[in-house]
Amino acid sequence: MIENFGALRYEITHIDANHMLLTGCVLLAYFAGTVSPSILLGKLYGVDVRNTGSGNAGTTNVLRVIGKKAAVITLAVDIFKGFIVVALAKPFGGGAFALLCGFAVLCGHIWPLFYDLKGGKGVATALGVILAFDPKMGLMLLCIALALIALTQRVSVGALVAAAAFPVFMHNMHPPYFVPALLIALLLWLKHRQNIRRIIRGEEPKLNFRSGAGKKTERETQAK
């Protein structure tokens, strides 16, 4: 009886310890997401990207407001933080836990605690999450996004279609993880709701690779 009680107590303690560890990992994933290269680079260049151009702390706005080099750095860091979180979480806790951490890093990117909860829209970070979870799927979605961006010259169109395709691909390739993929896709669409309205009205700005060339267009769009 005593031995059984001791074994049960050890099992309960072990489970509690695991829960605490997993919770800690999810929190770390969130705080990893709050690292915002666009905001930090903006400070270096003397501009707050959240109050300039489209007001989004992401690669496209950095390209328009600051320039190509800053945009490339922003894109690389945002992809990397999504990738590294899931790459570390997957072997540790499995696919479901990896996607939970992926959702957490996205939330950190979109609602960063240290930047008044005003972050980016999560596209690059989501790409990193998907590439780490399934590289083949990530590359397929990236090809879809790039093709549509090239065709329409609008990043939001490529991002929205790729986001919508993500749960479809997940359902076909990894059915047990369809719901987490759907939640990530819905989060991305939620953050692009203003872009969707502008696309419907035909007012979504086109991508321009000239530094600062899109500032006027973005301000005029935001004023409408």
* Model confidence at 196: pLDDT above 90: yes
Q: How confident is the model at residue 16 (pLDDT cuts 50, 70, 90)?
A: low
pLDDT, mean of residues 93-119: 94
Q: How confident is the model at residue 193 (pLDDT cuts 50, 70, 90)?
A: very high
pLDDT, mean of residues 192-211: 83
- DSSP-derived letter for residue 153 is S
By percentage, how much of the chain surpasses pLDDT 90? 68
Q: Taking Cα atoms as reference points, which of 17, 142, 33 lies closest to residue 86?
A: 33
pLDDT tens profile 82-96? 999 999 999 988 999
For the record, the structure tokens of 14 come out as 């072990």
* Model confidence at 126: pLDDT above 80: yes
Residue 60 one-letter amino acid: T
Q: Which domain holds residue 127?
A: 2-223
pLDDT, mean of residues 39-53: 90
What angle (nearest 5°) sits at the alpha carbon of residue 159, between those of residues 156 and 160?
A: 85
What local confidence, expressed as pLDDT, does residue 210 receive? 53
Q: How far is CA 150 from the centre of its chain?
A: 21
Q: Taking Cα atoms as reference points, which of 209, 179, 224 lies closest to residue 64?
A: 209
* Model confidence at 120: pLDDT above 80: yes
Residues 6 or more apart in contact with residue 189 via CB below 8 angstroms: 160, 163, 164, 196
Q: Collapsing DSSP states into helix, strand and coil, what is residue 149?
A: helix
- The strand ranges marked E within the chain are none
* Model confidence at 41: pLDDT above 70: yes
What angle (nearest 5°) sits at the alpha carbon of residue 154, between those of residues 150 and 157?
A: 95
Give the range with max mean pLDDT: 4-13, 57-66, 118-127: 118-127
* Model confidence at 5: pLDDT above 50: no
CA 190, CA 221: separation in Å to the nearest integer?
Answer: 19
pLDDT, mean of residues 150-172: 95
Total domains in the chain come to 1
* Model confidence at 8: pLDDT above 50: no
pLDDT higher at 92 or 14: 92
